[in-house]
Structure 1
Amino acid sequence: MNSTGVVLSAGDWRLVLDPHRGGMVRALTRRGQDILRPMPEGADAPFDSACFPLAPYANRIAGGRFTWEGQAHVLAPNAPGQKHPLHGTAWLGNWSVETGEADRATLLHHHAAGPDWNWAFTLRQHFRLTADGLEARLELTNTDDSAMPAGLGFHPWFTRRGVSAIAFTAKAVWLADAEMLPTVRATADTLGDWKQGAALERPDLVDHCYAGWTGQLRIERGDGDIVLEGEDTPYLHLYVPPGQDFFCAEPQSTMPDAVNREAPAPLLPGETRTVTMRIRSA
């Protein structure tokens, strides 16, 4: 560890982690070139990061209200300017380094049941660099005495510099309303034919969830293509804001507002649920 965080390296790859707040990634480079948008020096807000974890739910919960096993739950908004609670609790919590080596590290987070989430859990992020790239795994363990809903994912912010197109395949896309909550399930090519590969430069905002994602997305870059892969992540949330130097492609186990729409299977006391993300050279 140094003054900028935990630094891992393998082959052409270098990863910088923030081991304390939010379990964030500060940078991921290949041959010295940014793959993820680097976090500004001195910044500590998750929205400025290169990547952060999504747990115990992904994206938004409408109005912070849902019913689980017959009991009503209400969560307050957790981010400035956001009407609905967003991305879970772990991205705003405290983390510690559980283990660390030159090419791998595990970050640990404990959550006590409270008003932001009514169940206790432990979350681990395992990071490993190889000559091919990054493998990151989230492990969520229910340490409470009752079953909880559980959604997991990663929120990487990819740099657009040098990116000519992205390509992926999914079965459908959830169209969203003005508050970015899912409304209608539509065909996957409704917002563009991503299957054939499409450029990111477009006038409209894309902030939508793709269902039935095959688990792979290709990023076409002038210095060599990158592949994003997900395991146990049938949803891909794509965020492409006009005029920005980044885009987000987020592997997730559940859709936005899943507890009110496609509720995840209960995570029983003592059980663990995992998702895996890889960012590697094609």
Structure 2
Amino acid sequence: MTDLHTLQNAHWQVGILPQTGAGIAFGRVRYSGNWLDLLRPTAEADYENSSNNSSFIMMPWANRIRDGLLKIGHQSYQLEITKDDGTARHGDVRKRPWHVAESDETHIRMTFDSRDFEDVNFPFYFSAEAIYHLEADAFIWTLSLTNEDDQPFPAGFGYHPYFVRTAQMPLLEIPTEQEFVLTDAMATGAPQPISDVVDFRQLRGLEDGVDINHLLTGRDMTKPIRLVYPQWHTELQMQADPIFKQVVVYTDMHTPSVAVEPQTNANDGFNLYEQGIAEAGVFVLQPGETASGTVRLTTQPYEGS
């Protein structure tokens, strides 16, 4: 049976799935005295399927690596690939069990160590920590990655949350100036000025019937990402640490949701990094070094303009 940990305060009710990659099963906020799903809720039958969770962790890379071929200098490592698109996708940890180090009504801390598994899809040893906690109207996510190997390696991480999409969509504001041109969901070069279809620098809605799967960058770190639900008079703000240089926006047409994914590296960022593209967002960890980042979700009333 899946181990579900529920965190709750006066503003949030969230479900955490340690056995499914430290993912999220649901994220609800108070509205008119009831709990309202803002994160796309997971059916109980899908608690063990990270792809159908409300959100999952991507690590030690985010999104895709072309052909699963990890190139580091003069070395190349062949990673296992997914059958549907032939890439190494979304890291390795989202389908692994994580250890619950501590938890209470509003907080949970989980750990992961790749040395505990013989088949991790990455050629270097690493450990990780995931913390979720509630603080007043904020739902806070903190992720850390540590190099446990005896040599440096490039890495990245991110979150893949799905937010509910209603008849009025939500309205989006994403303060980014650039986007990567994607082919088969992977970046092909340095970022370009943002296109009209994903220019969300001003609050606006998604277009009906238009599929979006875009990688945005050049984020204004002083401004939050905003998702506004006018019919519920509710605004969700996402504030992500500067390490999360990229934001993927993806409209899932099969389920009523939109993914807004903060991630450190670009799609196929490892190959961009090897090409010397500075915006790739890949970081290199020395032995014993840790990289970490926090994403903060807060809600507030929205009355419109």
For the aligned pair, the TM-score class normalised by the smaller chain equals over 0.9
Single out whichever of 17-26 and 154-163 deviates more from structure 2. Answer: 154-163
- Aligned pair partner of 1:213 in 199, 208, 219: 219
State the shift of 1:9 in Å: 0.9
State the shift of 1:84 in Å: 0.5
Aligned residues: 279
| Higher-helix-fraction structure | 2
Give distance in 2, aligned partners of 1:212 and 1:11: 35
State the shift of 1:163 in Å: 4.1
The structure-2 alpha-carbon separation of the partners of 1:54 and 1:8, relative to structure 1 and needing over 3 Å to count, comes to same
Q: Is the 8 A contact 2:2 2:19 kept in 1?
A: no
- Specify the alignment match of 1:21 in structure 2: 20
- Specify the alignment match of 1:126 in structure 2: 131
Q: Is the 8 A contact 1:145 1:269 kept in 2?
A: yes
Give distance in 1, aligned partners of 2:81 and 2:5: 31
State the shift of 1:66 in Å: 2.8
Give distance in 2, aligned partners of 1:3 and 1:116: 24
Query: Which secondary structure does the structure 2 equivalent of 1:106 belong to?
Result: strand
- Specify the alignment match of 2:288 in structure 1: 270
Give distance in 2, aligned partners of 1:269 and 1:164: 43
Give distance in 2, aligned partners of 1:4 and 1:67: 37
State the shift of 1:247 in Å: 0.6
Give distance in 1, aligned partners of 2:45 and 2:145: 29
- Specify the alignment match of 2:140 in structure 1: 135
Do structure 1's residue 226 and structure 2's residue 244 form an aligned pair? no
Q: Is the 8 A contact 2:244 2:262 kept in 1?
A: yes
Give distance in 2, aligned partners of 1:150 and 1:218: 28
Pairing 1:18-97 to 2, within 5 Å after superposition: 18-31=17-30, 32-43=35-46, 44-78=48-82, 80-97=83-100
- Root-mean-square deviation (CA, aligned residues, Å) is 1.9
| 1:56-108 deviation digits (Å, cap 9, x = unpaired) | 00000011113214211111214x52310101111122212111011100111
Query: Which secondary structure does the structure 2 equivalent of 1:194 belong to?
Result: coil
Q: Is the 8 A contact 1:105 1:126 kept in 2?
A: yes
Gaps of at least 5 residues in structure 1 are none
Give distance in 2, aligned partners of 1:198 and 1:241: 18
% identical equivalent positions: 23
Query: Which secondary structure does the structure 1 equivalent of 2:209 belong to?
Result: coil
Q: Is the 8 A contact 1:128 1:136 kept in 2?
A: yes
The structure-2 alpha-carbon separation of the partners of 1:181 and 1:252, relative to structure 1 and needing over 3 Å to count, comes to same
- Specify the alignment match of 1:250 in structure 2: 261
Query: Which secondary structure does the structure 2 equivalent of 1:195 belong to?
Result: coil
State the shift of 1:221 in Å: 1.0
Q: Which amino acid aligns with 2:27?
A: L
Q: Which amino acid aligns with 1:75?
A: L
Single out whichever of 160-169 and 132-141 deviates more from structure 2. Answer: 160-169
Do structure 1's residue 104 and structure 2's residue 115 form an aligned pair? no
Give distance in 2, aligned partners of 1:164 and 1:140: 32
Give distance in 2, aligned partners of 1:26 and 1:205: 25
